[in-house]
Amino acid sequence: MQSKPMTSRPASLVSTASVAIILTLYIAIVFGFGLYLFSVLVTFMQESLSFGIPTVGIITGGAQVSYLTASLFCSPLTRRFGGGNVIFAAALTAGFLLTLLSAVQNIWQAGALLIALGSCAAMTVIPTVGVIGKVVPIAWQSSINGLISSGTAYGQFATGLLVPFLIHGYDWRTVWMVIGAISITVAIIGYTVLRGLAADVFRKASPQNCLDKQANLEKSPRLKSLATPRHFLIWTLLALSGIACGPWQNYLASFLGNEQHFSISFIGQLWSMIGVTGLISGFAFGLLADKIGVRMTLALSYSLLLAAGLLVAMEGGTITLRMAAVAFGLSFYAIFGLIPAYITKAASPETSTAIFAVANVFLGIGTSLGNAGSGYFQSWVGSFQGIYAGVAAVAAVAMILSLLLPDERKITQSK
């Protein structure tokens, strides 16, 4: 059976490139310039706003809840207004929220804005799977999803360049103001470019097309189409990814610094290696997935995550830990680009957003369970080492499950 065209006109190289670049920049705004920037500026903000670390925990937890809540509402909003419009509105709102952070008078005002940024992040990233399915040729969908997944790394990289200059010459309020202004400018320019070069990004789903594509689900096409073993397997993989990746990141500095007595400068080097690796890993693994298939590339990514866990758990020297950092940088951004790529290829644009929205809820639950469970485990046994062995075990399970996914290339041909 021949596949149907994805859009009313062939997607050109220019429109594909514009979608890839603009969506990557939008992800950099909502992730790289949000809570990540707050974690960089928190010490400077404490001096003038007078708050403690427990308050930071409340804010980050609130942002996570906000992200999960927005995930539940993202799919109907996308159907109502179109994926491109939802993404643009979220990115533009994020820019204004970042700007407002420069004027806060207490930590609770800042917390409210940061929690709202969590919703913007969900509303930006979730509709991307449907947008890519509409306007990007199948041969490039994995690559584009991978590039977009590295948007966070690009945002963090830009933050690393801007913050030292601005914080020493001015203050933390100036940092938020400049970053917010840049974000608003990028959001507006991106909207203008996409309107001119890839207008289908803003096209709303046609109800008639949805019924045509899923005629066997006439009464409740969305509910029944979501409740499939394949989708549950996808959601399980994202939950396992959260369980493994969250603790690996959150407890690395404590394990290496407090237990292994490595210097802060060395730990900083490891994080720099992860960030630099992330700049290329998403797109590189996406290219590989377009050649050999998403599920095989996903299994490879989980094998690297397994290695990252084992290399830290074995308490080796600096070379071993550098290898672990590279392995994690390669796997982390690849995994969170490949799973959306699989959804894009295996589902229609009309249903992919709903599938990915539920997947993000599973990811949030998995991350919360992983972080909380790991913290309890450390307090019980008195060491972080077992956590990294557990990360390796979870990654091994995910690697096996990823191989059980149906071949997305066969699904695409039958769509």
Question: 13-205 and 226-406 share one CATH topology?
Answer: yes
- Report pLDDT digits (tens) over 305-359: 999 999 999 877 899 999 999 999 999 999 999 999 999 888 887 788 889 999 9
CA distances from 207 to 9, 80, 84, 218 (A): 19, 11, 17, 11
What is d(CA 296, CA 319) in angstroms, rounded to the nearest whole number? 28
Q: Where are the domains of the chain?
A: 13-205, 226-406
What is d(CA 12, CA 200) in angstroms, rounded to the nearest whole number? 12
- Report pLDDT digits (tens) over 146-205: 999 889 888 888 888 888 888 888 899 999 999 999 999 999 999 999 998 888 888 876
Lowest-confidence region among 9-13, 56-60, 262-266: 9-13
- Report pLDDT digits (tens) over 95-142: 999 999 999 999 999 999 999 999 999 999 999 998 998 888 888 889
Q: What is the pLDDT of residue 223?
A: 52
Q: Is the pLDDT of residue 393 over 90?
A: yes
Of 161, 154, 138, 115, nearest in space to 29 by CA: 154
What kind and span of H or E run contains 149?
helix 141-149
Q: What is the dihedral of CA 51, 53, 54, 60, to 10 degrees?
A: 100
Q: What is the pLDDT of residue 144?
A: 92
- Report pLDDT digits (tens) over 344-364: 888 887 788 889 999 999 998
Looking up tokens 């709102």, which residue turns up? 93
372: number of Cβ within 10 Å: 12
Question: pLDDT tier at 28 (50, 70, 90 boundaries)?
Answer: very high
Q: What is the pLDDT of residue 217?
A: 38
The CATH class of 13-205 is mainly alpha
Between residues 284 and 272, the one the model is more confident about: 284
* Domain covering 226-406 in this structure, CATH number: 1.20.1250.20
What is d(CA 283, CA 278) in angstroms, rounded to the nearest whole number? 9
